[in-house]
Amino acid sequence: MFRVLFHEPRIPGNTGNTIRLAAATGAELHLVEPLGFDLSDTKLKRAGLDYHDLAVMTVHPDLETAFAALGDARVFAFTTGATRAYTDVEYVPGDVLLFGAEPTGLPQDVQDHPRVTDRLRLPMVPGRRSMNLANCAAIAVYEAWRQHGFEGGS
Protein backbone atom coordinates (compact mmCIF):
# COMPACT_ATOMS: atom_id res chain seq x y z
CA MET A 1 0.00 0.00 0.00
CA PHE A 2 0.95 3.64 -0.06
CA ARG A 3 2.66 5.56 2.70
CA VAL A 4 1.91 9.05 3.97
CA LEU A 5 4.78 10.96 5.56
CA PHE A 6 4.03 14.09 7.58
CA HIS A 7 7.07 16.28 8.20
CA GLU A 8 6.73 17.88 11.65
CA PRO A 9 2.91 18.10 11.80
CA ARG A 10 1.49 20.74 14.13
CA ILE A 11 -2.28 20.23 14.34
CA PRO A 12 -3.44 17.10 16.20
CA GLY A 13 -6.83 16.97 14.47
CA ASN A 14 -5.21 16.66 11.04
CA THR A 15 -3.01 13.80 12.19
CA GLY A 16 -6.01 12.15 13.86
CA ASN A 17 -8.02 12.39 10.64
CA THR A 18 -5.09 10.89 8.74
CA ILE A 19 -4.95 8.01 11.21
CA ARG A 20 -8.54 7.28 10.18
CA LEU A 21 -7.51 7.59 6.52
CA ALA A 22 -4.69 5.09 7.05
CA ALA A 23 -7.01 2.64 8.80
CA ALA A 24 -9.68 2.96 6.08
CA THR A 25 -7.33 2.59 3.10
CA GLY A 26 -4.52 0.39 4.40
CA ALA A 27 -2.00 3.19 3.94
CA GLU A 28 0.80 3.61 6.46
CA LEU A 29 1.24 6.89 8.32
CA HIS A 30 4.75 8.08 9.19
CA LEU A 31 5.37 11.15 11.33
CA VAL A 32 8.66 13.06 11.58
CA GLU A 33 9.40 14.75 14.89
CA PRO A 34 9.20 17.22 16.40
CA LEU A 35 5.43 17.00 16.53
CA GLY A 36 3.39 20.03 17.46
CA PHE A 37 1.35 17.96 19.92
CA ASP A 38 1.57 15.00 22.25
CA LEU A 39 0.31 11.66 20.92
CA SER A 40 -2.03 11.46 23.91
CA ASP A 41 -3.68 14.77 22.90
CA THR A 42 -7.47 14.56 23.18
CA LYS A 43 -7.96 16.31 19.82
CA LEU A 44 -5.78 13.68 18.13
CA LYS A 45 -7.70 10.87 19.77
CA ARG A 46 -11.09 12.45 19.03
CA ALA A 47 -10.28 12.97 15.34
CA GLY A 48 -8.94 9.43 15.04
CA LEU A 49 -11.97 7.96 16.84
CA ASP A 50 -11.51 4.24 17.48
CA TYR A 51 -9.26 3.75 14.43
CA HIS A 52 -5.93 4.18 16.24
CA ASP A 53 -5.52 0.42 16.73
CA LEU A 54 -6.46 -0.26 13.09
CA ALA A 55 -3.86 2.05 11.56
CA VAL A 56 -0.16 1.49 10.98
CA MET A 57 1.62 4.56 12.34
CA THR A 58 5.32 5.09 12.98
CA VAL A 59 6.96 8.11 14.57
CA HIS A 60 10.52 8.92 13.46
CA PRO A 61 12.92 11.20 15.37
CA ASP A 62 14.06 12.93 12.16
CA LEU A 63 13.68 12.89 8.39
CA GLU A 64 16.82 10.84 7.71
CA THR A 65 15.59 8.08 10.03
CA ALA A 66 12.22 8.12 8.28
CA PHE A 67 13.81 7.87 4.84
CA ALA A 68 16.03 5.00 6.02
CA ALA A 69 12.97 3.14 7.34
CA LEU A 70 11.09 3.67 4.07
CA GLY A 71 13.85 2.05 2.02
CA ASP A 72 14.22 2.75 -1.68
CA ALA A 73 10.62 3.87 -2.21
CA ARG A 74 9.85 6.83 -4.42
CA VAL A 75 9.08 9.98 -2.45
CA PHE A 76 6.66 12.57 -3.78
CA ALA A 77 6.78 15.94 -2.01
CA PHE A 78 3.48 17.81 -2.12
CA THR A 79 3.91 21.57 -2.31
CA THR A 80 2.01 24.53 -3.71
CA GLY A 81 5.13 25.59 -5.62
CA ALA A 82 5.26 22.45 -7.77
CA THR A 83 4.29 22.51 -11.43
CA ARG A 84 3.40 18.82 -11.85
CA ALA A 85 -0.12 17.76 -10.82
CA TYR A 86 -0.62 14.83 -8.48
CA THR A 87 -2.74 13.14 -11.16
CA ASP A 88 0.20 13.08 -13.61
CA VAL A 89 1.96 10.32 -11.65
CA GLU A 90 1.55 6.58 -12.09
CA TYR A 91 1.77 5.51 -8.46
CA VAL A 92 3.12 2.17 -7.35
CA PRO A 93 2.47 0.48 -4.00
CA GLY A 94 5.04 1.60 -1.48
CA ASP A 95 5.27 5.15 -2.83
CA VAL A 96 5.70 7.79 -0.13
CA LEU A 97 3.47 10.87 -0.18
CA LEU A 98 5.31 13.58 1.75
CA PHE A 99 3.51 16.60 3.22
CA GLY A 100 4.74 19.55 5.27
CA ALA A 101 3.57 21.07 8.51
CA GLU A 102 0.60 23.32 8.88
CA PRO A 103 0.68 26.21 8.02
CA THR A 104 4.19 26.48 6.55
CA GLY A 105 4.38 23.44 4.25
CA LEU A 106 7.59 21.66 3.38
CA PRO A 107 10.81 23.57 3.98
CA GLN A 108 12.91 24.13 0.85
CA ASP A 109 15.69 21.85 2.09
CA VAL A 110 13.19 19.00 2.40
CA GLN A 111 11.78 19.67 -1.08
CA ASP A 112 15.36 19.63 -2.43
CA HIS A 113 16.37 16.48 -0.54
CA PRO A 114 18.02 13.89 -2.84
CA ARG A 115 15.46 11.28 -1.75
CA VAL A 116 12.60 13.33 -3.20
CA THR A 117 11.63 11.83 -6.55
CA ASP A 118 9.39 14.69 -7.64
CA ARG A 119 7.33 17.60 -6.36
CA LEU A 120 3.57 17.51 -6.89
CA ARG A 121 0.71 19.90 -6.38
CA LEU A 122 -3.01 19.76 -5.91
CA PRO A 123 -4.68 22.38 -8.15
CA MET A 124 -6.44 25.27 -6.45
CA VAL A 125 -8.19 28.43 -7.53
CA PRO A 126 -5.65 31.23 -8.07
CA GLY A 127 -4.92 33.38 -5.04
CA ARG A 128 -5.47 30.62 -2.48
CA ARG A 129 -2.59 29.81 -0.15
CA SER A 130 -3.16 26.20 0.87
CA MET A 131 -5.57 23.41 1.71
CA ASN A 132 -6.08 21.37 4.86
CA LEU A 133 -3.30 18.83 5.43
CA ALA A 134 -5.56 15.85 6.14
CA ASN A 135 -7.68 16.66 3.07
CA CYS A 136 -4.59 16.82 0.86
CA ALA A 137 -3.35 13.49 2.15
CA ALA A 138 -6.77 11.93 1.52
CA ILE A 139 -6.95 13.26 -2.04
CA ALA A 140 -3.48 11.91 -2.85
CA VAL A 141 -3.98 8.51 -1.19
CA TYR A 142 -7.30 7.95 -2.93
CA GLU A 143 -5.84 8.89 -6.32
CA ALA A 144 -2.98 6.43 -5.85
CA TRP A 145 -5.35 3.73 -4.62
CA ARG A 146 -7.85 4.44 -7.43
CA GLN A 147 -5.11 3.83 -9.99
CA HIS A 148 -4.83 0.32 -8.57
CA GLY A 149 -8.54 -0.42 -8.69
CA PHE A 150 -8.96 0.11 -4.93
CA GLU A 151 -7.21 -3.22 -4.47
CA GLY A 152 -8.04 -4.74 -1.10
CA GLY A 153 -11.05 -2.46 -0.60
CA SER A 154 -14.73 -3.20 -0.71
Distance CA 67, CA 39 (A): 21
Within-domain flag for 154: no
What is the predicted pLDDT for the residue at 38? Answer: 85
The CATH number of the domain where 86 resides is what? 3.40.1280.10
Residue-wise pLDDT for 51-103, tens only, equals 777 889 999 999 999 999 999 999 999 999 999 999 999 999 999 999 999 88
Q: What's the gap between Cα 80 and its chain centre?
A: 14
Nearest by Cα to 120 from 104, 105, 103: 105
Task: Give pTM, 2 decimals.
Answer: 0.94
* Predicted confidence (pLDDT) at residue 135 exceeds the cutoff of 60: yes
Q: Average pLDDT of 6-25?
A: 94
d(CA 124, CA 132): 12
**Structural domain span for residue 50:** 3-146
How many structural domains comprise the chain? 1
Whether 67 is covered by a domain: the verdict is yes
